[in-house]
Amino acid sequence: MEEEIRYFITYLQEVKRASRNTVMSYQSDLAKMRTFTEGQGAHSAGAVTATMLNAYVLSLERSGKAASTISRYIASMKAFFEFLVRKKRIDEDPAFHLKAPKVEKHMPGILTIQEMEHLLDQPSLENPKGYRDKAMLELLYATGMRVSELVNLKVGDLNLRFSWIVCRDGEKERMIPFGSKAGTALRQYMEKSREALVKGEQTDCLFLNCSGTPMSRQGFWKLLKSYAKKAGIEKDITPRMFRHSCAAHMASGGAGLHTIQEILGHMDLTATQIYAGFQPDTKAEYSKSHPRG
């Protein structure tokens, strides 16, 4: 089955242009399934039966795997076998009748608007580092992007004139609007800070650390923790909390499900359902609903 899994992974990479994290997730999930089914005597995808897959899912449940994890494994198997049927590599789909367990969706931890505003006010605009930190925090809250996307931004991704930024997740990219507060912070950073941080080096990275090298995820995590402590926020704050807070605050301001999905870059609308309803225009809704739009 190794060759068939490799065939599927190549399709994800070269045709679907799936992100690196997505590809790694499929590889890991399917490798676990392969180990189990080969132990049952099935050494090719065509030899796998629905009974084997049901037994595999049962073994996952008995081992105490979370419902969300089992659901992901099932989704990976369904995508894999459906692909092989479509490509006529196998005649029947043994995963067709598999049903994912119900996963209870909880609202993730977020900061209140007041906590967020207090946190965003913490950087001191007296040195290059303060301007950089202010710009990074404002942009993260304004766009809801992932920290990995934030630290990988290039100068050319930023459009201050039209208040948009190009955000990349693997091979995929999306344009996200940002509001006036983030725009002001970014403009000040570009005019008063970035050149001092570059230290004469040639780099197109947008955000740099004090050594003139690109800001890392770990570096951003540390500065976020320090500002949260300075702001007196007792919650266990994480960069992902900014993403959830952005979406939740937009939802409470009237933004619709599709707008939030587009801004966060969710592939599946169900991932956005914990947040809100629907309205059309992304740019107009963003300005109206984001607390710092």
The rounded distance, in Å, linking the Cα atoms of 30 and 209 is 39
Name 174's bridge partners. Answer: 167
Cα-to-chain-centroid distance, residue 204: 23
Using alpha carbons, select from 250, 243, 244 the residue that is nearest to residue 285: 250
pLDDT score, position 248: 78
Active site residue 11: no
Give the residue extent of every domain in the chain. Answer: 2-86, 113-289
Give 102-127 pLDDT, tens digit per residue: 766 555 678 888 999 999 999 999 99
* Arithmetic mean of pLDDT, 212-224: 90
- The three-point CA angle 180-123-143 to 5° equals 40
Name 154's bridge partners. Answer: 205
Q: What is the value of pTM for the model shown?
A: 0.58
The rounded distance, in Å, linking the Cα atoms of 127 and 210 is 11
Domain 113-289 fold is hpI Integrase; Chain A (1.10.443)
Cα-to-chain-centroid distance, residue 266: 8
Catalytic annotation, pick one of 34, 72, 243, 292 = 243
pLDDT score, position 288: 57
Give 160-197 pLDDT, tens digit per residue: 999 999 988 766 788 888 989 999 999 999 999 999 99
pLDDT at 57 over 90: yes
Radius of gyration of the chain (CA): 22
Q: How many residues does the chain have?
A: 293
Of 5-14, 104-113, 249-258, 276-285, the one with minimum mean pLDDT is 276-285
Confidence of residue 131 (pLDDT cuts 50, 70, 90): very high
Q: Are 52 and 45 a contacting pair, CB within 8 Å? A: no
Using alpha carbons, select from 108, 109, 119, 107 the residue that is nearest to residue 291: 119
The tokens 């920290």 sit on which residue?
Answer: 147
**Ranges 13-27, 34-48, 138-152, most confident:** 34-48
The CATH class for the domain spanning 2-86 reads mainly alpha
Q: Are 47 and 41 a contacting pair, CB within 8 Å? A: yes
Active site residue 243: yes
Catalytic annotation, pick one of 34, 73, 286, 292 = 286
Which one-letter DSSP state was computed for residue 208? B
* Arithmetic mean of pLDDT, 148-165: 93
